[in-house]
Structure 1
Amino acid sequence: MGINHFRALAAVIVTASFVVTACAGPKHPASETQVPTPHVGFDYQIGGPYHPPSGVSVVSRDHTADPAVGLYNICYVNAFQTQPGAERDWDPTLLLHDASGAVVIDPDWNEALLDLTTAAKRQRIAAIVNNWIDTCAAKGFQAVEPDNFDSYTRSRNLLTSDEAQQYIRLLSAHAHDRGLAIAQKNTAELADNRRRNGLDFAIAEECAENDECATYADAFDNHVEVIEYTDHGLAEACSRFGDRLSIIERDKQVSTPDNEEYLRKTC
């Protein structure tokens, strides 16, 4: 499991009477979507957009940002957890609660987990996230990156991998209807199910550090964007997969170049 990173905060107002408002436009079969070209220049900008470095042709940005002109753009959405502190904006019945009634929080990022335990709740949550996917399509992104697919591993056994997969299939079907490819974010243990789950390519954090890059490369036919967060991870990824995959090292806050913590390296 890789590290989930800083996300640009976006206010989300959700009530029990939420009404789905789908973006107008034609639907597209999955065969019409385009995945990122393997082994090309990549940049991970979910902490804030900036002018892509020379040689970059694929960029991932938050859904609140605009795509980079002339490049292949991946749209980040936090699909399985709330934004930090935004759980108060959600219908409480869509948040995961433990036996004591407390909301289950991802301790690393202070994000509430969403409750995927019933088909009805999965449908309601997907309706919200699919509105964000509609925004991605309307802005001109080519793909979507639903983060925290692996949140069931942090749910204190209250969620299952099957529930996570049933939910992501709702997102992948909607993304394909909007002409967008959809990425599997981390979760190497489910990579072999990528076709059944409707997932087109992978975004893998720290796969070299966790010895998972081969799993993604094999499952997704080298259509993998790799983000490492240490020099050691970058060296390992480049030495073993530098001729096959798109690989970068970023600082852990995926900051912008005007921040003193900013770091971006590649093979």
Structure 2
Amino acid sequence: MSATSAAPSQAKRRFAPLFLAGPATLLFIGLVLLPLALTVILSFNSYNYDTGIENTFTLHNYTQVLQDDYYLSIFWRTLRLALITTVIAVVIGVPEAYILSNMRSPWRSIFLLVIIGPLLVSVVVRTFGWSMILGRNGFINGALTTVGLEPVQLLYTETAIVIGLVHIMLPFMVIPVWTVLQKLDPTVEAAALTLGASRFTALRRIVFPQAMLGILSGSLIVFALSASSFAIPGLLGGRRLKMAATVVYDEFMIELNWPLGAAIAIIVLVANLIIMIAYNRMIEGQAKRKLG
């Protein structure tokens, strides 16, 4: 082969990864980075209720949010409920993933379909279902009334929001942990049991440390989705019990104060990133120390 014919083939091999990654990169820039950059720019614009958005640089939106107890309480509620949802999802999802990984066919496929099946139904539909269950005349209060107890207020409370979030987010915890457990050698746990370790010791010292990366992935997904959830807090929390996403919606669609809504969205995004990065490093450090 001549040098002139070899040069174009080498150039094609060199630039082939760029051509393959190019469409996905452009899509990511157009759908993620560009809207995010425009939101950041919008958050520094001023707003006048008479003239609307003004093209002048200001930090007033951020100072207004960070100095107002109303917004700070909403941020605290958002992060607190997202953290509670994540902890409950870990407590329920990890044992569920472990049981699922030890099932045999066809039960494994059946229960995996049961776990993934709710994802095929709209979040709004499932949330409306919970609103009927938790309502004043819903199933729970109906059962309490039947046994002679007083009805309780569940709908439009933080408890209702957590229940709805856990139900929606649980598959996002089970699947990553189950995927990691599928890669583990089952004979290692069996060897520990053979050598005299209890079931709890085998889980704590063998299975759980190796499943930490799956727990890390699942908890990060659950926390991020819970902190940015809109439909569940809006339907189960009502108009008075607001979270960050509902406040952003109100500023954009009701108050028409787009710069302030953009500032709130950016603050929530930065807070989520800081928490997730810190949590990621902490869990990865523990996993490396345990696994060597």
Structure with greater contact order relative to length (CA < 8 Å, sep ≥ 6)? 2
TM-score (norm 1): 0.27
Rg: which structure is higher?
Answer: 2
The structure whose residues are more often helix, as a share, is 2
The structure that is strand-richer by fraction is 1
TM-score by length of 2: 0.26
